[in-house]
Structure 1
Amino acid sequence: MEFQPSDFEIVGENYLPREIKAAKRKSFKELLHEKPYVSIGVLLLIILGCAFPGIITGLEPSYMDLSHINVAPNSTFYFGTDSLGRDIFTMIWYGGRISLFIGLLATVISTTIAVVYGSISGVASEWVDDMMMRFTEIILSIPSILIIIFIQAMIGQSDPLSIAIVIGITSWMNISKIVRSEVRQIRNSEYILAAKCAGGHFFYILKRHLLPNFISAIMFMVVMNVGSAIATEATLSFLGIGLPIEIISWGSMLSLAEKALLSNYWWIILIPGVFLVITLVCITNIGNYVRKQNNTELSNL
């Protein structure tokens, strides 16, 4: 009996029979469900539209066409107009820039505070760590919306920067608890002790040794914080304590909801609400995927 070269297969430590390899191959539909391609694609389109609104529409978002007030969606005004005669289609893309800016800046602020605070708590002595964590739990026990309203009342002015700062400094607690737990697990590692003995200061050790070890563990919450910040800004505007109506964002557009519903002008609230919900759902799906990937990596260790 003669054997051909094709009858043999080179194997190694990671060898799997051909039948198992074939069973492990995933169909396109399975891959589509496994990775949030649709969410990434939709979110990318929204971000590009908000980043370059001048390509999509030639109108100014603050332009008031008093001859076309509360016009329903039609071929001229794709999403209709509001009670001031402003084109909602144009406002969606320009307002999205403000909402996304607030979400991203608030997340950067909250993540920075959480990383520094959690790392200090993680490397500190037991009583300092306990005191810092008790303070975090006290803040977490208070509804965040009340803290935001209190701080916003102290600041007085409402603009995208102040709103982002207020949201950022009130949404770092959960991430800091995870950072603290991760740091306490690795703080006595040899490479960290060696860096301390070599004279490395806290921020050097944080950047070079601590941050790379826990960044994957907090990425899920970082992504989710973007959506939470956007939703918080919309909630504040809906309550009438967010951005003023002349500063266009998805939240400030929703501040007209009460008058719109009473007057049956459904498009004024429905269309900004749909864009807000779609954005939040896409961010949530991406965040869940990041969490699953992190859990998979941990289970494989």
Structure 2
Amino acid sequence: MKREKRFPKAAFTALIIIILASTFAGLIAPYSPDLMDSSAVNLPPGGGHLLGTDSMGRDLLTMLLYGGRYSIAIGFISALISTAIAVIYGVVSGIAPRVVDDLLMRFSELLLSIPSILLIIFLQALWGNPSWLSLSVIIGITGWPNISKIVRSEVRQIGESDYILAARTMEGGFWYVLRRHLLPNFISSIMFMVVTNIGQAMITESTLSFLGLGLPLTTVSWGSLLSMSQEVLLTGCWWLILIPGVVLIVTLVCVTELGEYVRKKNNRMHSNL
């Protein structure tokens, strides 16, 4: 028998610590996020600045703590938005007539054929000045097609069950059937994709910031810290790219571990049915 994957306690604990540290940054951070000390420019880790400073004299530890708020918020909010859209879209496609189902699936496949980063840049240009809220919404409304296909597949499998037909026969509305019968049956199947979308949204925000298309300079995130890589190459201040990169990678690894655990647990549940 295959060895059962244990709950990743270390990954869960590390992720909780990172989230709590970012949430309570105002209590933990040694300096104000707006403080720029011209006498402490590009200082290496140590002394009064545990993780060093950047070219504007800002404390790196402070920026990591406050920046985590935006990066994590973008990840979770965009995942919630994409999941909500995917569930409604997938359920409608799953219970719709074959012609409507085909049209909806062709539309989702069309969106999947477009590079998501290009679609996000286009929508952000229509939105206007970028902010953490605009990035959360735009990443969310472009990240649902994959999950919707999973939801649609699950609905197709259970949509002809007797209890579903009975609920619809007794004039059960769309939202009633979705909430009471459909959602509880496929929620475990999409949890892996939801967790994965959190990490993917954080990567997307970092990529946009690296390209200079992300959050404005006045809003610090892990992505905006990584965008200073060109400065690192010119000044040799390795801590400005290494430390934020390690924090982001550790967070993504923790999210991936939790997603992998959810996926394998869901597979075991289906194999036991």
User: TM-score by structure 2 length?
Assistant: 0.97
- Which shows bigger deviation, 121-130 or 202-211? 202-211
Q: Which residue of 2 aligns with 1:112?
A: 84
Equivalent residue number for residue 94 of structure 2: 122
Structure 2 partner of 1:207: 179
Query: Is the aligned partner of 1:75 residue 2:47?
Result: yes
Specify every segment of 5 or more residues in structure 2 that has no aligned partner in the other structure, as ranges: none
Q: Does residue 295 of the first structure (1) align with residue 264 of the second (2)?
A: no
What is the deviation of 1:113?
Answer: 0.4
- Residue aligning to 1:102: 74
Match among 96, 120, 123 for residue 151 of structure 1: 123
Q: CA deviation at 1:57?
A: 2.2
Partner residue in 1 for 2:199: 227
Which residue of 41, 46, 61 corresponds with 1:89?
Answer: 61
SS in 1 for 2:205: helix
Q: Is the 8 A contact 1:122 1:184 kept in 2?
A: yes
The code of the aligned residue for 1:93 comes to L
State how far apart, in whole Å, the 1-side matches of 2:54 and 2:216 are.
Answer: 15
Q: Deviations over 1:66-106 (max 9, x none)?
A: 11111111121011001111100011111101101100100
Residue 165 of structure 2 corresponds to 193
Cα deviation, residue 55, structure 1: 2.9
Q: CA deviation at 1:253?
A: 1.2
Conserved in 2, the CA contact under 8 Å of 1:237 and 1:255? yes
- C-alpha distance in 2 between matches for 1:246 and 1:232: 19
Matching of residue 180 in structure 1 with residue 152 in structure 2? yes
| Cα separation, 1, equivalents of 2:135 and 2:34 | 21
Q: Which residue of 2 aligns with 1:9?
A: none
Shift of 1:247: 0.3
What is the one-letter code of the residue matched to 2:255? Answer: I
Q: Deviations over 1:260-298 (max 9, x none)?
A: 222111111111111000000000011001001001111
1:265 to 233, 237, 250: 237
Matched-pair identity in %: 56
Q: 1:281 corresponds to which letter in structure 2?
A: V
Where does the alignment leave 5 or more consecutive residues of structure 1 unmatched?
A: 1-23, 25-29
Letter in 2 for 1:186: I
Give the whole-Å Cα distance in 1 for the aligned partners of 2:57 and 2:140. Answer: 34
RMSD over equivalenced CA pairs, Å: 1.4
Q: Which residue of 2 aligns with 1:61?
A: 33
2:112 is matched with which residue? 140
User: 8 Å contact 1:245–1:253 — kept in the other structure?
Assistant: no
Bigger shift: residues 275-284 or 50-59: 50-59
TM-score with structure 1 length normalisation?
A: 0.88
1:44 offset after TM fit, Å?
0.9
Offset at residue 35 of structure 1 (A): 2.2
| Number of equivalences | 272
The amino acid across from 1:187 in the alignment is: G
Q: Which residue of 2 aligns with 1:256?
A: 228
SS in 2 for 1:34: coil
Q: Deviation of residue 34 (structure 1)?
A: 2.5
Amino acid at match of 2:167: A
Aligned match of 1:14: none
Residue in structure 2 matched with residue 280 of structure 1 by the alignment: 252
- Report the secondary structure of 2:216's partner residue: coil
